[in-house]
Amino acid sequence: MSQWLEQVIDNAQNVSDFLSPARDAALSELKLQGWPGRRTESWRFTPLSSVEKRVVVENKDVTTASAPVIENLEVIDIVFSNGQLITDTASLALPKGVSICQFKDADADQQAAISSLYGKVKPQKHTFGLVNDALAENGVFIDVAAGASIEPVMRISNLSSQPCDAHTRLIVRLGDGARATVMEFGEGSCESLTTAFAEYSIGYKAHLEHYRFAMFTGKAKQVGGSHFKLSELASLNSTLVGYGSELSRLDVDIWHAGEFANAKMNAIYLLAENELFDLHSCIEHAVPNGTTEENARGIIGDGAKAVFNGRIHIHRDAQKTLAELNNRNLLLSRRGIINTKPELEIYADDVKCAHGATVAEIDDTALYYLLTRGISRSRALVMLNFGFVQELVAQIPKTAIADWLLPKLSKRFAEMEVK
């Protein structure tokens, strides 16, 4: 057992609210599972040594912070700063059809709704998810009524500026036929540890447009997850962007619980020198006639390490499933590492599935050719190697988000050194 986890378990005794039954269950599970080591398959390539001996630093202070402005985009902002919710959710101006409350303010109906989803969409296998179950007092519930179509983007930011532990939670429910866009955004570079987990229940024929931008860098450690349950004919369009840091890990679970649901997920990771980013995704096709398309593409800088594990699990009854998974990587140096593992586990016999993974290096000859034409090295590298990332940015449904993201990513890429 790790020193940090022992402290976490101690501290969890002090948390008491309407979620206590779920928190207690998570704690028992956590004690049972113990600390994941090198022999734990899901953590094989991502060492947890920096967390293992960490001393828990709790933060109760409220520090102001704001998430970046995205031009030409209407946003409803909810901000956690160093783990504390600093947005007064009660005074948010909201369009008709959506309600947003923090856990502490939830009325009886909202408490019942939160409890029915809390730890129920997210699988029990995620150690840090269980930690979050036990500790996340700061949580927000977004409830989109059946049939409602919410235009503004609801953005939930986790901003860290202090070297503390932060555990925040998001629960989102989309009623039947509802449409909404939710963005999870995270940023920080100090010696913090953030666990931010989100659970989404997407109702019959509902559509969720989802973004998760995990832009923690430097010393900021983050382990988080986004977990989705799709009802019949529901659809999900998700775009993930990950930077690397000392430890940066995202788990995504997509659960096809109703037939004819459609999930599309594009993930981009851009790792600068010596950073680590780990994306584990797991798609559960529990019922027939679901479709999934997942593209994960990354660029890995000198001495950096990326881990991609993409699992598609097609259950025995999930006939007529269509699932595609693709992972492409570019290494900028011989000292960059990618551990990629697409996993298909198929128990049904009438399905169409494809998966692939590629790893490429910089093409020196093409680079030289562009240089001889006076093009700068950084620009040439972007022209040659950024296209496959740009393609995914171009698929982002909201142009304003793509327009904001692309220069950010190309700047980060241009600053990486090729060795």
Partner 1 sequence: MLKISNLHANVEDKAIIKGLNLAVNPGEVHAIMGPNGAGKSTLGYVLSGRDGYEVSGGEVTMNGKDLLDMDVEVRAREGLFLAFQYPVEIPGVSNMEFMKESVNAIREERGESPLTAAEFLKKAKEACKQVQLPLDFLKRGVNEGFSGGEKKRNEIMQMILLEPSLCILDESDSGLDVDALQVVADGVNSQRDGKRSFIVVTHYQRLLDYIKPDFVHILADGKIVKSGDASLALEVEKSGYAFLGKQYEEAEA
Contacting positions for partner 1 (CB under 8 A):
364-366, 368-377, 379-380, 383-384, 387-388
Distance CA 107, CA 371 (A): 63
Closer by beta carbon to partner 1, 94 or else 384: 384
Closer by beta carbon to partner 1, 37 or else 387: 387
Closer by beta carbon to partner 1, 66 or else 376: 376
Contact (CB, 8 A) for 143 and 110: yes
Q: How far is the CB of 335 from partner 1 (least distance, A)?
A: 18
Give DSSP secondary structure letters for 383-405: HHHSHHHHHHHHT-S-HHHHHHH
Cα 171 to the chain's mean position, in Å?
14
Contact (CB, 8 A) for 79 and 168: no
Closer by beta carbon to partner 1, 180 or else 367: 367
Closer by beta carbon to partner 1, 352 or else 379: 379
Q: How far is the CB of 162 from partner 1 (least distance, A)?
A: 43
Q: How far is the CB of 363 from partner 1 (least distance, A)?
A: 8
Closer by beta carbon to partner 1, 304 or else 389: 389
Reference 290, options 323, 317, 260, 257; nearest CA is 260
Q: How far is the CB of 152 from partner 1 (least distance, A)?
A: 34
Closer by beta carbon to partner 1, 68 or else 387: 387
Number of C-beta neighbours around residue 407 at 10 A: 9
Q: How far is the CB of 267 from partner 1 (least distance, A)?
A: 20
Residue 219, token pair as written in the block: 């010393």
Closer by beta carbon to partner 1, 347 or else 368: 368
Number of C-beta neighbours around residue 181 at 10 A: 23
Closer by beta carbon to partner 1, 31 or else 377: 377
Q: How far is the CB of 418 from partner 1 (least distance, A)?
A: 12
Closer by beta carbon to partner 1, 57 or else 359: 359
Closer by beta carbon to partner 1, 158 or else 295: 295
Reference 248, options 294, 213, 293, 297; nearest CA is 213
Q: How far is the CB of 376 from partner 1 (least distance, A)?
A: 6
Q: How far is the CB of 272 from partner 1 (least distance, A)?
A: 22
Distance CA 102, CA 325 (A): 36
Q: How far is the CB of 104 from partner 1 (least distance, A)?
A: 51
Give DSSP secondary structure letters for 281-326: EEEEE-STT-EEEEEEEEEE-TT-EEEEEEEEEE-TT-TT-EEEEE
247-256 and 75-81 beta bridge pairing: unpaired
Say what angle helices 3-12 and 127-135 make with each other, to 10 degrees: 30
Return the H-helix or E-strand segment holding 209.
Answer: strand 207-216
Reference 209, options 155, 286, 273; nearest CA is 155
Angle ∠(70,76,78) on CA atoms, nearest 5: 100
Distance CA 258, CA 251 (A): 22
Q: How far is the CB of 308 from partner 1 (least distance, A)?
A: 22
The burial of 146, by beta-carbon neighbours within 10 Å (0-12 exposed, 13-18 middle, 19 or more buried), is given as middle
Q: How far is the CB of 367 from partner 1 (least distance, A)?
A: 9
